[in-house]
Amino acid sequence: MAQNEASIDEKFFLIRCGTVSQKGGIHMKAKKLVAVGMTVLMLGGLFVGCGNSADTSTEANSGENVKITIFQSKIEANEGYKKLIAAYEKNHPNVEINLEAVTGNDFGASMKAKMQSDPPTIFSVGGFSDMKDYGDVIEDVSDLDIMQHALEGTTDTFTKDGKVYAIPLYMEGYGFVINKQMFEDAGVSVDSMMNFEGMKAGFDTLKEKIDNGEMKDKYPNLEAVMEYPTKELWIAGDHDANVALTHDFKTPNEAYAADSLPGTGFEDYKKMVDFQASYTTNANNTANLNSVDYTTSLEGGLAIERVACIKQGNWVAPAVETTDPEVLQKLDMLPYSVPGYSDGKYFVGVSGYWAIHSKATDAQKAAAKDFINWMFTDPEAQKIVVNDCKFIPPYDNFDGIKASDPLSQRIMDANNSGNTMNGWVYSGSPNTWGQQVAGVEVQKYLAGEADWDEVTKTCIEQWSELRKQQNN
């Protein structure tokens, strides 16, 4: 969701919620390899391990009435959060939890305003910049019991001097989300498309059958193999640029520490931009792609079977389910395969974190910690986290719980098999570089206003310039 990414058009709203309950287990056996891949992202997270949450639980159940507020950015998870809150409040009648959500590009500004007027108890944080902006008001959460179960590397961004200052909420992974039924009907198996050459061959086969009219009877809406919404700068910039950045940096932390960008992987970046553009209805006029937005590609594309594929992540499942639940069950996700580089790999990382406000009252902080521990350890709460919030949890105590959609399950399976790469190295780039530099340059390239050498040169130069500005 990535993170704020997944629901770009929704507006600010406030929700008052109800209740939840306590304790528990689950597990997803996320392995070590996911670790690195998930270290950072638009919401930075941290971890450490050990626990005296018995104390926090005691305070949360002390009988003192306490009210806490959650201010968060993942609007599509609100129904799940409401279930969690309702369950918790049911068993903790002295605790009242208010849920507020802002999504998309509005969250950062709304957060700053909120901090000035009515600071929340729990709030979403977004990587390195948030550690800098809110470092003086975020609580040490090293003592949370759940931190003992955090996957290796998932808390790096918000760890300072051996202390953890944010809680990893969920992992996400992206690749090429496909309607596998369409490909199977075209005579192409999913297993044959797990590397770049196989994926290209499968896309070519389906394109030929679409062009010949062979798919029309069964899929009357089907126009093209793919949609590529480059109006969304995070798609052409952050996500696609990540393939270039992973050539030079292993983690977001490394990228964040880099004053310059070697640019080793820009040819691979070009390959993936060209690949996606070539299978759209605008293949012969790629400038038109810069007018295609996320909603058009998803609710108006994949979910209505107008296209067979979009480059996205498991976070699209709720929107597809809302549009057509039957289509969701036809979906699968191919790796983000770059020939000879990331064949068979999914880009995976932690993309959501919560921090606790250090200036809240002791009772509020105790209740916040108890609620968070509970939501990741209580068996019933864990089910809500996976099935209703639709999270892939970044913890190793989620045994026996399967994802409620095929896309999240594919990422869980990739985590377990180690077929992952760090999907959020881009979060360590200088502020605004991913979207306002890389994303804009791709738009220029597709519009014929810049060649790829110019794209590469500008991206490398602006990295250094923006880093200087950031450090001043």
Could you tell me if 304 and 221 lie in one domain? yes
Binning pLDDT at 50, 70 and 90, where does residue 367 land? very high
Residue 75 lies in a domain: yes
State residue 98 phi and psi, 5-degree precision: -100, 140
- Last residue within a domain, chosen from 347, 376, 401: 347
Binning pLDDT at 50, 70 and 90, where does residue 42 land? very low
Q: Where are the alpha helices (DSSP H) in 104-224?
A: 107-117, 128-134, 180-185, 196-211
Tell me the CATH number at 163: 3.40.190.10
> What is the average pLDDT value for the chain, to the nearest integer?
87
Q: What was the pLDDT predicted at 404?
A: 84
Could you tell me if 101 and 51 lie in one domain? yes
What type of residue is 146? I
Residue 321 has pLDDT above 70, yes or no: yes
Q: What was the pLDDT predicted at 63?
A: 67
Q: Provide the residue range defining the domain that includes 198.
A: 174-347
- Last residue within a domain, chosen from 347, 365, 395: 347
Q: What was the pLDDT predicted at 60?
A: 57
Q: 193-201: which pairs have CB atoms within 8 A and are 24 or more residues apart?
A: 193/334, 194/334, 194/335, 194/337, 194/343, 194/344, 195/335, 195/337, 195/339, 195/343, 195/344, 196/337, 196/338, 196/339, 196/340, 196/343, 197/339, 199/334, 199/337, 200/275
Q: What was the pLDDT predicted at 412?
A: 86
- Averaged over 206-226, what is the pLDDT? 98
Look at the chain and report how many structural domains it folds into. Answer: 2
48 vs 150: CA distance, rounded Å? 8
Of 215-219, 280-284, 394-398, the one with minimum mean pLDDT is: 394-398
Residue 7 lies in a domain: yes
Percent of the chain with pLDDT over 70: 86
Could you tell me if 206 and 69 lie in one domain? no
Residue 470 has pLDDT above 70, yes or no: yes
50 vs 146: CA distance, rounded Å? 9
Could you tell me if 167 and 178 lie in one domain? no
* Residue given tokens 């997270």 in the structure block: 45
Residue 107 has pLDDT above 90, yes or no: no
Could you tell me if 390 and 241 lie in one domain? no
Q: What was the pLDDT predicted at 31?
A: 33
Residue 310 lies in a domain: yes
Q: What was the pLDDT predicted at 61?
A: 58
Residue 251 has pLDDT above 50, yes or no: yes
Could you tell me if 392 and 312 lie in one domain? no
Could you tell me if 221 and 334 lie in one domain? yes
Could you tell me if 72 and 130 lie in one domain? yes
357 vs 363: CA distance, rounded Å? 12
Could you tell me if 354 and 338 lie in one domain? no
CB atoms within 10 A of CB 56: 23
Of 58-62, 237-241, 393-397, 458-462, the one with minimum mean pLDDT is: 58-62
Could you tell me if 196 and 239 lie in one domain? yes
pLDDT tens track for 45-88? 333 333 333 344 445 555 689 999 999 998 888 999 999 999 99
Dihedral sign computed on CA atoms, order 354, 165, 127, 1: negative
Q: What was the pLDDT predicted at 105?
A: 65
Could you tell me if 112 and 134 lie in one domain? yes
356 vs 370: CA distance, rounded Å? 12
Residue 398 lies in a domain: yes
pLDDT tens track for 329-350? 999 999 999 999 999 999 998 8
pLDDT tens track for 253-300? 899 999 999 999 999 999 999 999 999 999 999 999 999 999 999 999
- Averaged over 149-176, what is the pLDDT? 90
Could you tell me if 197 and 275 lie in one domain? yes
**What are 155's two structure tokens?**
């808390």
- Averaged over 224-247, what is the pLDDT? 97
Residue 453 lies in a domain: no
Task: Please answer whether residues 186 and 327 qualify as being in contact, where contact means their C-beta atoms are separated by less than 8 angstroms.
Answer: no
- Averaged over 144-164, what is the pLDDT? 89
301 vs 283: CA distance, rounded Å? 16
Of 77-91, 93-107, 164-178, the one with minimum mean pLDDT is: 93-107
Binning pLDDT at 50, 70 and 90, where does residue 23 land? very low
**Length of the chain, please?**
472
Q: What was the pLDDT predicted at 59?
A: 52
Q: What was the pLDDT predicted at 108?
A: 85
Residue 458 lies in a domain: no
Of 129-133, 178-182, 421-425, the one with minimum mean pLDDT is: 129-133
Q: From the centroid of its chain, how far is CA 387? A: 17
Most confident listed range (71-75, 179-183, 408-412): 179-183
Residue 430 lies in a domain: no
Of 47-51, 210-214, 376-380, the one with minimum mean pLDDT is: 47-51
User: In 3D, which of 76, 70, 72 has the Cα closest to residue 2?
Assistant: 76
Of 123-127, 185-189, 233-237, 382-386, the one with minimum mean pLDDT is: 123-127
Residue 435 lies in a domain: no
Task: Please answer whether residues 192 and 198 qualify as being in contact, where contact means their C-beta atoms are separated by less than 8 angstroms.
Answer: yes
258: helix, coil or strand?
A: coil
Between residues 58 and 25, the one the model is more confident about: 58
